[in-house]
Structure 1
Amino acid sequence: MLSICEYGSSEDEDAGVDKKKEGEDLTSHLKPLPPGKSIASLQNSLQICAAPDVVPLGSAGWSKQIDRDVKEIKFNPKCEVLFAPDVGPEHPFKTEQQRAHKNMLSGYVEEAHISEFQFETQRRTFTSYGYALDPTIDGSAPKEGYIGQTKDAEEKAGKTVFESAPTRPLDKRKRRKNDNPDDVDGFLGPWGGFVDERRVMKPNEEEAAELEEILAKRQKRGKQSDDKPLDEKTVLHIKDAVDYQNRSFLHPPQDVGVNLVHADAPPERCFLPKANIHTWRGHTKGISAIRWFPKSAHLMLSCSMDCRVKLWEVYKERRCVRTYYGHHQAVRDACFNNVGTQFLSAGYDRYIKLWDTETGQCISRFTSRKIPYCAKFNPDDDKQHLFVAGTSDKKIICWDIRSGEINQEYDRHLGAVNTITFVDENRRFVTTSDDKSLRVWEWDIPVDMKYIADPSMHSMPAVTLSPNQKWLACQSMDNKIVIFSALNRFKMNRKKTFSGHMVAGYACTLDFSPDMSYLVSGDADGKCYVWDWKTTKLYKKWRAHDSVCISVLWHPHETSKLATAGWDGLIKYWD
């Protein structure tokens, strides 16, 4: 009514006057306000409050409520505030269980102490029989309260799992008994044993001595040979170690019809070899690997299972220049440094040895107590003091020749490491392993930047980089040669797969011709295979060795000359 009295219109003045008169007529019957009362106080008394009766915030009786979940209080409350009940109306639809205070998901658990054995006893009894003692009953009270299947508890008289276990049948065998503690010598107690029991007696002194002798012989027989390095020696097989200008055999010859000193460019066109022009004999067992002398390739290094490393002439008389003795087990791999003055030999005697090529002196020895399967110098000229070796314990270890210490370990493979190949201007290297994977590493970073593994992939024990540094040819154990890109993504080239030979179980190496028109590989039957690089077509194959043809190398400066090495101990030169 009061708001109607104050109502005003924004229409014309005449209409406003009429409204005012009507308002005066409407309020004419109202009684006057009592003395001392204002319109504002009357408005407050007429307001309707729909909220429940709570203490307003501004009143003096309000006190700060403390939530019961709070762990830390930042003021000093009074006792009635600290222990005040929860404020607010209860939820009308909650059950008694939901309204109860919970300290775990399924309800409220009272803190109590019980021994582990008692707890486990009641838990197993409840699981097996369906009843257990009521945990709320005090231990001093009689054991009458049970939870679960109380009828079963009454029938079984509350027996637990341990009390009601079935008794074992008595052993029919008779025991030796002497429980008299006064009988010091004859007292048996629980150690009497059975009457018909045979006990193993300790051997007497003579028998013990014989057993020790037998064990010592067995240990010597099964023990590995002494791990101490063999005394190194060398034999020079040629009389003229230096020429008339006092140059050693390491200097490339200049009268062979091929420029070996400044021959940086490969031959323009290569041709298939047709005939065997020479055979090097000297090794008594199978050959593991052959390596050209760097750049000139006028010498060839071979390592064999007869524990020897030999250096051969490729031109003129093709003699054996020098033999290096230093391993007492088969030599697996060898590698020249960039200038050829030194080389590494890795043997099954767990040693990698650094040799001086000219003098035959063993400069230093390196071992990680594991078999090195491959060893490679870092091809960079400023890192010639570093070399990496793949070992049988799944690691690639980098040694420093100057200090003889390990610089870095690359330990991510799941099997023995077979090959190490430097790519991308020697900033990275690719490794293959018995775990049937291929990994790419940044130099000096022990985490692989690329991991290539596929269910269809097989172990790849031989890898060769193409002359143009773009492709990696990998000898796969499923009798195929697979090609990977050596740039950026290292993706397998599915279109280029070379097959037709049998190499399963052997690490037969392969090589490119200098003009990249051919790809050559050995074979388990002793054959040599030549494929066309562009079409992957098999051009030629011939019987090169009587046993496995383990290594094939195309001469980098000749158009059609090829060296092959086999497990028959021979190295053959083809043209």
Structure 2
Amino acid sequence: FLLTTLSTLLIGYALDPSIDTQDVSSNNYIGAVDEAEKNKGLTVFESGHKKSEKRKKIKGGDAGEIDGFLGPWAKYVDEKDVAKPSEDEQKELDEITAKRQKKGKNEEDAPAEEKTILHVKDMYDYQGRSYLHVPQDVGINLRSAEAPDKCYLPKKQLHVWSGHTKGVSAIRLFPSSGHLLLSCSMDCKIKLWEVYGERRCIRTFIGHSKAVRDICFNNTGTQFLSAAYDRYLKLWDSETGQCISRFTNRKVPYCVKFNPDEDKQNLFVAGMSDKKIVQWDIRTGEVVQEYDRHLGAVNTITFVDENRRFVSTSDDKSLRVWEWDIPVDFKYIAEPSMHSMPAVTLSPNGKWLACQSMDNQILIFGAQNRFRLNKKKVFKGHMVAGYACQVDFSPDMSYVVSGDADGKLNIWDWKTTKLYHRIKAHDKVCISALWHPHETSKVITCGWDGQIKLWD
């Protein structure tokens, strides 16, 4: 009785349990008799489906012939090899590929056109000297090789250089004298400023189609390199503003450095987004060496040990030391507790490397032979996680300065590692702080608010 009720509920009819015969006639069923006749009297407890026929495979050939034998790998007789898109789908696909090709072409096209703007009236003075000439009437000797005896904390803002329309990503002082300041920005421009006198903007260099990431002067300051997100490295003439040459390996350069040796000024290295450090020769424009050991994008390159070696840091949270021109790192420093260090500075005496670590600390490594972490010198108290804020030392090695994510300039005492002073320098991230090599208390900062400031 229960089975009959269940069958009636599920399919609308059931066999009359009081009759023994199983004819499919109206007498033997209760419920929807028409349905019972249509389904030939099959109840819920019987399956009406025939087993589906097995798909036939192509005959596999003779096992004796290696080439012609298909065996279990033979295809089905009705198997289709190619799935062809419908007309509409094909149209859509063609549009997408056309767009992609167009986009790719634009990127692969020739580099952005270079031009330069001179902002001062006279490029040369009455003696025919250009702005690269080191001034001697600024109250201090910019040609001396000696560092100031004692440095002091900067207290107030002296000047603001404004001209960039977006955040400034790096600033560099003119080699040895520091009378000019070069800045690169996310507005794709590079600018050269006076540090003394009227502190004007002297020249703007335009030639990158995307944000400029890094810049580097050669030893004399007559030329500099720029690295940008448009994947080009460009060599510029500081005086005329002319772009001398372009270099690319279709990867984004994150940092660039000339070899500081006088006899190797034609060579430079760049840390790339594809984990390599690439070495170019300016004279030929060719890549002459690749240092390919890092496991992440290379963020910094710093020459140490009288330029015989260089130290690189990367997103792989390691620090590697290389001999010049030997593509195998001879020292590899990586601890489980280490974080990535996207900004590294060599101390004025050449003994220490200050590394901005992503866990809001500045770590100090020895820059000679052992490259060991100095556990006694750790500078804390600022917030830099996520930003490559450049660190610097005062020329007499008594202070360490760094910007932070809140736009503050932080100054620590080198001996005690105590945080001495904080100045609210910028509205956004203060990405770089430079202590002038000839001044006792002048610090230059730049930030993502597009401003460069001088503090004294």
TM over 0.5: yes
* In 1, Cα distance between equivalents of 2:111 and 2:83: 46
Higher-strand-fraction structure:
2
Q: Residue in 2 aligned with 1:573?
A: 454
1:561 lines up with 2:425 in the alignment: no
Q: Residue in 1 aligned with 2:40?
A: none
Counterpart of 1:212, as a letter, is D
Q: Residue in 2 aligned with 1:456?
A: 337
Counterpart of 1:547, as a letter, is K
Question: Secondary structure at 1:271's aligned position in 2?
Answer: coil
Partners of 1:423 and 1:469 within 8 A in 2 = yes
The counterpart of 2:111, out of the listed 225, 229, 240, is 229
Q: Residue in 1 aligned with 2:45?
A: none
The counterpart of 2:132, out of the listed 250, 254, 259, is 250
Question: RMSD of the TM alignment (CA)?
Answer: 2.3
Question: Secondary structure at 2:445's aligned position in 1?
Answer: strand
* In 2, Cα distance between equivalents of 1:469 and 1:540: 25
Q: Residue in 2 aligned with 1:505?
A: 386
Q: 1:212 to 1:546 in 2, by over 3 A?
A: same
1:393 lines up with 2:268 in the alignment: no
* In 2, Cα distance between equivalents of 1:336 and 1:511: 17
Q: CA deviation at 1:226?
A: 4.1
Q: Residue in 2 aligned with 1:447?
A: 328
The counterpart of 1:366, out of the listed 229, 236, 247, is 247
Q: 1:367 to 1:219 in 2, by over 3 A?
A: closer
What 5-or-longer segments of structure 2 have no aligned partner?
Answer: 1-48, 57-75
Partners of 1:227 and 1:349 within 8 A in 2 = no
Q: Residue in 1 aligned with 2:315?
A: 434
Q: 1:192 to 1:447 in 2, by over 3 A?
A: closer
Q: Residue in 1 aligned with 2:299?
A: 418
* In 1, Cα distance between equivalents of 2:183 and 2:84: 60
Question: Secondary structure at 1:225's aligned position in 2?
Answer: helix
Counterpart of 1:331, as a letter, is V
Counterpart of 1:231, as a letter, is E
Q: Residue in 2 aligned with 1:46?
A: none
**For this pair of structures, how many residues does the alignment match?**
388
* In 1, Cα distance between equivalents of 2:387 and 2:55: 66
* In 1, Cα distance between equivalents of 2:121 and 2:138: 20
Q: CA deviation at 1:351?
A: 0.7
* In 1, Cα distance between equivalents of 2:382 and 2:203: 34
* In 1, Cα distance between equivalents of 2:124 and 2:83: 76
Q: Residue in 2 aligned with 1:284?
A: 165
Q: CA deviation at 1:228?
A: 2.2
Q: Residue in 1 aligned with 2:236?
A: 355
The counterpart of 2:86, out of the listed 195, 203, 211, is 203
* In 2, Cα distance between equivalents of 1:466 and 1:311: 25
What 5-or-longer segments of structure 1 have no aligned partner?
Answer: 1-169, 178-189, 194-198
* In 1, Cα distance between equivalents of 2:89 and 2:311: 59
| Overall identity of the aligned pairs, in % | 72
Q: CA deviation at 1:369?
A: 1.2
Question: Secondary structure at 1:515's aligned position in 2?
Answer: coil
Q: CA deviation at 1:208?
A: 3.7
Deviations 1:436-482 (A, max 9, x none): 11111111111111111100111000000001100000000000000
Q: Residue in 1 aligned with 2:419?
A: 538
* In 2, Cα distance between equivalents of 1:176 and 1:472: 71
Correspondence 1:34-433 to 2 at 5 A = 172=51, 203-204=86-87, 208-209=90-91, 211-217=93-99, 220=102, 225-261=107-143, 263-433=144-314
* In 2, Cα distance between equivalents of 1:504 and 1:331: 22
Partners of 1:292 and 1:301 within 8 A in 2 = yes
Question: Secondary structure at 2:330's aligned position in 1?
Answer: strand
TM-score norm. by structure 2 comes to 0.81
Q: CA deviation at 1:213?
A: 2.7
Q: CA deviation at 1:555?
A: 0.5
Counterpart of 2:323, as a letter, is E
Q: 1:477 to 1:399 in 2, by over 3 A?
A: same
Q: 1:207 to 1:460 in 2, by over 3 A?
A: closer
Partners of 1:175 and 1:192 within 8 A in 2 = no
Q: 1:543 to 1:326 in 2, by over 3 A?
A: same
* In 1, Cα distance between equivalents of 2:193 and 2:303: 26
Q: Which runs of 4+ in 1 moved over 6 A?
A: 174-177, 221-224
Counterpart of 2:154, as a letter, is P
* In 2, Cα distance between equivalents of 1:520 and 1:255: 28
Q: CA deviation at 1:201?
A: 7.2
Q: CA deviation at 1:397?
A: 1.0
Question: Secondary structure at 2:155's aligned position in 1?
Answer: coil
Deviations 1:382-406 (A, max 9, x none): 1101111111111111111111111
* In 2, Cα distance between equivalents of 1:535 and 1:310: 37
Correspondence 1:476-495 to 2 at 5 A = 476-495=357-376
* In 2, Cα distance between equivalents of 1:390 and 1:330: 16
Partners of 1:506 and 1:524 within 8 A in 2 = yes
TM-score norm. by structure 1 comes to 0.65
Counterpart of 2:86, as a letter, is P
Q: 1:546 to 1:408 in 2, by over 3 A?
A: same
Question: Secondary structure at 1:448's aligned position in 2?
Answer: coil
Q: 1:466 to 1:192 in 2, by over 3 A?
A: closer
